[in-house]
Amino acid sequence: MSSEVVRLEKQGDVALITIDSPPVNSLSQPVTSGIFDRIAEANADSSVRAIVLTGAHENFIAGADISELQNLADGKAKLDTKNVGRLTGKLDELEANKKPVVMAIDGFALGGGLEVAMAGHWRVGTTRCRCGLPELTLGIIPGAGGTQRLPRIVGVQKATEMMLTSTEARGKEALDLGIIQEMVEPDKLLIAAVAAARKLADGQAKPVRASQLADKIGTADDARAIMQGARMIGGDKMRNLIHPEMCMDAIVCGVAEGYAAGVKREAENFAKCLASPQAAGMIHIFFATRAAPKVPGVTDQKLEPKKIERVAVLGGGTMGSGIATALLQAGVEVALKEVNDEFLQAGRGRIDGNLQSRVKKGKLAPDKYEQMMARLRPQTDYAGFDKVDMVIEAVIENIELKQGVFVDLEKAVRPDCILASNTSTIDLEVIGARTKAQDRILGTHFFSPAHVMPLVEVVRSKHTSPQALNSAIALVKKLKKTPVTVGNCVGFLVNRIFFPYGQTALLLVDHGIDPYKLDKAVYDFGMPMGPFRMSDLAGVDVGKFAGGILAKAYSDHTYISTLVDHLFEAKRFGEKTKIGYYKYDGKKAEPDPALAGFVQKARADAGNPKPLALSDAEIVERVLFGVVNEACRCLDEGIAIRPSDIDVACVMGMGFPAYRGGIMKWADTLGAKYVHDKLSAWHKAHGPVYEPCAYLKRKAEKGESLVK
């Protein structure tokens, strides 16, 4: 018997069971029942002495079906507590199976996929196999024995680290850790697995029953100490989260009270996590990240993206060198052009430094580093630009300069070469105004540091061709980053929707709220830092420049405080001058009592408005609802394609907590009406920066979701 997703075929006395459920062999209900039905058939067949389980399409199993988990987390389906732990029970039966079961792992065995594999009696992996328990990236924990079997295979320390950081053991590391017993080249996998199965059946090899392994599990006190260490390392990153603790609790329970108690606790904790808003938020971001590169009318038109193998980067400053680094790491040849040799060498040095730091961290092999640097061609002219497939301009934010550069580029490159700008604020049509190339001009707005941050805003003007856009999106995916396609407006998406964040924070300070209390409230909510600390990081001067452009572009709904001007005049530019909103001893930020003087001046300039007394929660709403409102404007204007794109962009571009699902998912938990009514009240009290937009008004009136 076979089903279309799990088939059984016999190789002599060995039953080969193959999971074939594209795209990633996830453990949907049909796959899960198919696996155990085929195993039961193999057991019932007296001619079968052993079983091999493997996956088709060069992958094993990518874990539970996350769309099924999403329905449960969003409350669209009810979690039947009898179901939780059912897979664990089936895997315990598998582990106790009389006939040996060998797992043949090529590609990924993740989450439930690795849990299935660990219940087998022997694991053969390929050199490219990827074994991990990444459930915590979804706001949940392993729910099918992973918190018990992995510590027994690799030890509590390594297992805890792998689960809490969602890191994979690949190939040789999986072999060294004992996750797989044999490692072979992909084309030898099934031969080796069938041979292993026969050896087990003949008693020539001893089955590995992970739940019974005891040599690496250590004592309960050891385990507790390991968790304490993990909390120290996790530090503030674990604030507001429940699933890391739930995971550690299940691990320790299993060490202290044994496997059976451990899986029971795991099931209880798994259910608690799945019911938490954090799981709903993180699963939302999982799918949102995969939806973002899909642009209706562009990526669904069967347009073949242009092969981009050579890119010229103009400007070797922080951004240009970061972009060049990202390109080199993705195997792209890079021509780095600067205006003179001094700047060129500095840019080359930044690129070298970026790559060297990865070599030092053991994340980049020295020979790969050499190959990358060999693909870099520094120059101060346009020689060879007729051979590049794309140019990414990253010169200073000066309109005349950029316009001139694009005129020169149009002459130097081929007519099909894509011309991208990394501008963060200037209108693309203005940049290309003196060219005839508007159809192949677009924005690739990287976030600093460009070789690290996962987000790239791919900006299209009304002239940008689908082909050019499609090719740019494909390039960003090649860089292993997430492209979010946005419209051409001042600030594009992230910088635009976050300008009310800074402005309303200043409004509250002008109304008597202590800036350090405000920063802490926003930090405790889950942002990586408060708005004032972030301003010091980016530079108070930079904020003044960019803020001025945004305030001019959106002058009908801004709030201007003079606090920034007073700090600017006093040359308090933030971290780079060791003084801004905070004072700096190295990287450590300390409140500065002298700030009060500047705040008083700004308050006086604002007419000393009646002070507000706000709770932390009220501060967070007053600072973030303006962002929600501007995001709604961006949806209304078509600057953003879908609400979930805004969520991805906020998480990846501004560090908005993924466990809250992004700004729109979070606002949706409060409801459009709640947000709208609060903004209306603040609009009356404080002016246009809070005026709710038409889109939000419509959603509030109709009681519609902000994320659908």
- The neighbour count for residue 182, using CB atoms within 10 Å, is 18
Secondary structure (3-state) at 561: coil
Per annotation, catalytic residue among 95, 135, 266, 575: 135
Q: How far is the CB of 133 from ligand T1G (least distance, A)?
A: 7
Binding test (CB under 6 A) with ligand T1G, winner from 95, 106, 115, 249: 115
Q: How far is the CB of 404 from ligand T1G (least distance, A)?
A: 40
Total length of the chain? 708
Whether 457 sits among the annotated catalytic residues: the reply is no
Q: How far is the CB of 113 from ligand T1G (least distance, A)?
A: 7
Site for ligand T1G in 52-111 (CB under 6 A): 62-67, 108, 110-111
Angle formed by the axes of helices 531-538 and 499-510, to 10°? 120
Q: How far is the CB of 87 from ligand T1G (least distance, A)?
A: 6
Interaction between residue 112 and ligand T1G (CB under 6 A):
yes
How far is Cα 508 from Cα 117, in angstroms, rounded to an integer?
55
Q: How far is the CB of 284 from ligand T1G (least distance, A)?
A: 12
Per annotation, catalytic residue among 95, 115, 168, 621: 115
Q: How far is the CB of 107 from ligand T1G (least distance, A)?
A: 8
E strands, 579-667, in order: 582-585, 588-591
Q: How far is the CB of 148 from ligand T1G (least distance, A)?
A: 11
Whether 115 sits among the annotated catalytic residues: the reply is yes
Helix (H) / strand (E) element for 638: namely none
How far is Cα 703 from Cα 282, in angstroms, rounded to an integer?
24
Residue 23 or 703 having the CB closest to ligand T1G: 23
Residue 107 or 502 having the CB closest to ligand T1G: 107
How far is Cα 575 from Cα 684, in angstroms, rounded to an integer?
36
Helix (H) / strand (E) element for 420: namely strand 418-421
Site for ligand T1G in 277-316 (CB under 6 A): 290
Chain centre distance of CA 500? 24
Q: Give yes or no for a contact between 277 and 75, defined as CB atoms under 8 angstroms apart.
A: no
Residue in the structure block whose two tokens are 């690129």: 351
Residue 105 or 693 having the CB closest to ligand T1G: 105
Q: Give yes or no for a contact between 578 and 540, defined as CB atoms under 8 angstroms apart.
A: no
List Cβ neighbours of 122 (8 Å cut-off, separation of 6 or more): 100, 101, 102, 103, 181, 182, 196, 197, 200, 205, 207, 208
Residues in the interface with ligand T1G (CB under 6 A) total 23
Residue 142 or 626 having the CB closest to ligand T1G: 142
Residue 105 or 564 having the CB closest to ligand T1G: 105
The residue among 465, 506, 475, 503 whose CA lies nearest residue 629 is: 503
Residue 244 or 316 having the CB closest to ligand T1G: 244
Site for ligand T1G in 124-183 (CB under 6 A): 134-135, 138, 140, 142-144, 146
Residue 66 or 623 having the CB closest to ligand T1G: 66
Pairing of strands 333-337, 310-314: parallel
Which tokens go with 484?
């979010």
Contacting range for ligand T1G; rule: CB under 6 A; set: 18-26, 495-503, 541-549, 590-598? 18-26
How far is Cα 421 from Cα 444, in angstroms, rounded to an integer?
6
CA distances in angstroms from 662 to 409, 649, 666, 667, listed in the order given: 38, 8, 6, 9
CA distances in angstroms from 670 to 183, 273, 283, 646, listed in the order given: 51, 20, 18, 17
Residue 95 or 536 having the CB closest to ligand T1G: 95
Binding test (CB under 6 A) with ligand T1G, winner from 17, 18, 19, 26: 26
- The neighbour count for residue 567, using CB atoms within 10 Å, is 25
Q: How far is the CB of 400 from ligand T1G (least distance, A)?
A: 42
Residue in the structure block whose two tokens are 């990586």: 528
Residues labelled as active-site residues:
115, 135
The footprint of ligand T1G (CB under 6 A) covers 23-24, 26, 62-67, 108, 110-112, 115, 134-135, 138, 140, 142-144, 146, 290
